[in-house]
Structure 1
């Protein structure tokens, strides 16, 4: 995903890690009563770092938007504290003998935040809205497992042929092209969340402001001051509201690492992530410090349609010319590990971890990199390399990494590159329009399987911003999705990854690890390996 798909996913980011003071939004009337009674006010203030581009299940592709969506919506499946998929808005599911038809029965007490019933028609409407070509959902391809979904989304089929059907108010039927062992995990992605048909059709901008927002999760949106903060509050219409302890969550949108770090230190924030690199060594001894694996890859995309990255050897030369060990030990400092492939550690297979089995897909060799650069320039007839600008989304930590990469490429290849940055929302649009040569991106897997990482570079994936298309890669990925023998499926995915890294439309930099500072008064915050912290069960204790 982005950290962008994705993520899935800080994307999903990463996408993801992208001023002001605490906005103090929301209703404060309860604070006096709680202080007078001596009770601890069940509120938390966290930093989401950047304005979420789209808090809409059909349109979100980044981990910032996804973080909020995961708290205010719930799909047919949700996740327990361990991250396992469990039934959510559905109370029962029956799977046909051939594994291709799922029949869900919705909970009678599944309600929208306005008190109305969540129906099977809401799910059918939401999913078909994702697939509707006019919606322009970049994550529609996650539904291609469904019968007729790909044809409809690509304008080659009819919506009537899509295997999504509300049988009645509480019965929802889904037909797949073939059995899919991870369908339950897939359905925890926000793309599969329901939306209220009435709210969406009444206002096409329903998700842009808090006062028109309707959702069905443990929290509901109560305030959104753009570029400043988002406030969500406990949803009393949620069927499992008794497990929700927090009355209010405020997502501050402070992008400057030194600023949000100081805000944590002064008590204005209860949770921050992506610490300034120069404080990590000191904070590791702090009981408030937390370091968590994160199933994603930090990388620089190459635009294969813009010189000089039209040449494969030039792309490889750049990828081989940086020292990832030095970057992770001396620059990022957050426990990240050097990346020499696309799929991060954490995806288990019948033969062990996918990354461990696959090994590195290339080596850092300065002399070989120089030689490849020279060969690529000779092939193109270039006496000097076309000027290169490396783009990143505005963030102090991204800047430090980019500056280090800039220095390494200068030292090891003799090439001077320029740096440029943009605010996250603008940056996503710029890269979507392929208006870059080399650009930072992060991709987080929506669940722990290599397919979600490799899908990023499918030729027809709207998340693939490189312009790279490889028919052999696409063919192998397609075959892997219908292969029922798991060992063969993973073999196919290893083969696909080798093709990807041989053509090198991107350069992997490191595999993520998230670092946090968290107020120790808070308990039961859940740290999934592929999402930002989940606050559904969190509570605040007395000091």
Structure 2
């Protein structure tokens, strides 16, 4: 099941998704079955290279138990489903290396001047929208207005973007334009120069959050007021892109049909048509086995049922993502655009949070349900970030004795089956979690029983698992019926944490703010952090601090396995191929 809240650079992490809960269990799954990980680790990151012929239609599965939202504008969309639907036309401004370093090989060139505190972006001549119009400088500037104008209600305005000169003034309505965005050749030129207050070490990496990596068709959207943009036909019904395919037909919430963009700058794409359609996670395995779809993600819990399927190539990777348990400790002040912590919040007790983390049997769940294809993560910095990842940390392996000791010491005394608060009042913790596949309910009930073992009375918010869109609506708006929640991130490819856990980050949905966290996050993006050794030290300190505070507890990541029709070639999960992958996918000769 895909239950990932999307964050980061559009076009780079659009393919990343996370299996948060299992969606089925084969009858022969043993308690300690880790066979899947051994098999997945041998799979390539792309399909075999073959000569490609022109033409053909492919069907792509969008595995979800809820309709996709259908917000097809990068500054307004926040979930991974819409990103998956858009990927065939939604090309990023920049190509990247396999380590996500920005290059000038893509639709736009990139030049950073550290001394001048500028980045210059130039769109290449011939990069055109699917209506034939050249992408111009105003198309580079306009996305910043969408994100920063309060009327548009984007969730992507952050403190990182406020580092652009004039961005705060525009966001606050004190200026009509963003003074730090310069168009030296005018709106119809092809160059934009971004002026920053300070430079940060991650700016050469895609997904750094300090500037945007997409364009919007200003000529097509300019007549729509910001307040009506999200619901407009330009965003919902007839979006246009400059990638290899253009939208032909949308069945709202269910499917989108794509056909070639005849103006595509790299040339003519290989396929005649791509149809991406919603399919229930419960039906995904049968769809793979019956070849109903040419490209479909494998449900990890059902790996044994599909691994012998003929006529498919399995492609695997470990995405930049993780699931997590978070505790609500405050609210987001929309007027001040910052998170405000409540010292009296029910979950604002470190011992309580740590105890809940230690009570969970995450390793056992992963082995029992997912054949080892899911695995416990130990910090909020994924291992893929190399030396920034602190390998010395153990995270929260199951330890019921430690959980009980923490609660006892903190004054959560038992009265009968359950513990009470230190003030003697009853303690009931309301947990929000998303609905999904066959085992979603069982896994959550398992954790509730684990917490009961240490005397904690945890109940599902509303007494049931929640639908994806409803879940995020409640979490983002700090619904008082939620004390804790289980969710997942699809991450940016630059490890700065400002947009996820900063004081003014809307995505900091636990709403925790401390002077130490703010200092560490600022340090990791500071001038000093151009020294990689210093930045590494800051990342290690932050991971230790976050594990100690346990406001957000990392849970799982997983192997992502995709079944691809063996007649296809050109499909890849490599970052360097991500921007051009759909231009290359086609049927082998």
Q: TM-score range by the shorter chain?
A: 0.7 to 0.9
Q: After TM superposition, list the pairs within 5 Å mapping 1:25-424 onto structure 2.
A: 41-50=55-64, 51-53=67-69, 54-79=71-96, 85-87=102-104, 90-96=107-113, 98=115, 100-141=117-158, 143-144=160-161, 146-148=163-165, 151-152=168-169, 155=172, 158=175, 160=177, 162-168=179-185, 169-186=189-206, 191-203=212-224, 204=229, 205-210=232-237, 212-242=238-268, 244-254=269-279, 256-275=280-299, 277=301, 279-286=302-309, 288-305=313-330, 308-333=346-371, 335-348=373-386, 353-374=387-408, 375=410, 377=412, 380-382=422-424, 384-396=426-438, 398-413=440-455, 415-418=457-460, 420-424=464-468
SS, match of residue 491 in structure 1: helix
1:428 maps to 472
Is the deviation greater in 223-232 or in 401-410? 401-410
2:504 maps to 460
Residues of 1 paired with 2:18 and 2:502: CA distance? 20
Task: Give the C-alpha shift of residue 392 in structure 1.
Answer: 1.6
Question: Contact 1:63 / 1:532 at 8 angstroms: preserved in 2?
Answer: no
Task: Give the C-alpha shift of residue 398 in structure 1.
Answer: 4.0
Task: Give the C-alpha shift of residue 87 in structure 1.
Answer: 2.7
Question: Contact 1:6 / 1:12 at 8 angstroms: preserved in 2?
Answer: no
SS, match of residue 504 in structure 2: coil
Q: After TM superposition, list the pairs within 5 Å mapping 1:462-501 onto structure 2.
A: 462-482=506-526, 483-501=529-547
Q: After TM superposition, list the pairs within 5 Å mapping 1:521-540 onto structure 2.
A: 521-528=567-574, 534-540=581-587
Is the deviation greater in 321-330 or in 198-207? 198-207
Is the deviation greater in 480-489 or in 258-267? 258-267
RMSD: 3.2
Q: Deviations over 1:368-400 (max 9, x none)?
A: 112223425356324542243342244445444
SS, match of residue 409 in structure 1: helix
2:340 maps to none
Q: TM-score, normalised by structure 2?
A: 0.78
Could you list the runs of 5+ residues in structure 2 that have no partner in the other structure? 23-52, 331-343, 414-420
Q: TM-score, normalised by structure 1?
A: 0.84
Q: Which of 532, 535, 548 is the matching residue for 1:502?
A: 548
Task: Give the C-alpha shift of residue 317 in structure 1.
Answer: 0.9
Question: Contact 1:257 / 1:276 at 8 angstroms: preserved in 2?
Answer: no
Q: How many residues align?
A: 511
Question: Contact 2:361 / 2:398 at 8 angstroms: preserved in 1?
Answer: yes
Q: 1:241 to 1:146 in 2, by over 3 A?
A: farther
Q: Deviations over 1:304-363 (max 9, x none)?
A: 249642332211111111122112111233522212221111002xxxx33354522444
Question: Contact 2:257 / 2:275 at 8 angstroms: preserved in 1?
Answer: yes
Residues of 2 paired with 1:500 and 1:393: CA distance? 28
Residues of 1 paired with 2:234 and 2:272: CA distance? 22
Question: Contact 1:296 / 1:445 at 8 angstroms: preserved in 2?
Answer: yes
Q: Deviations over 1:97-119 (max 9, x none)?
A: 61621223321201111011110
Question: Contact 1:148 / 1:157 at 8 angstroms: preserved in 2?
Answer: no
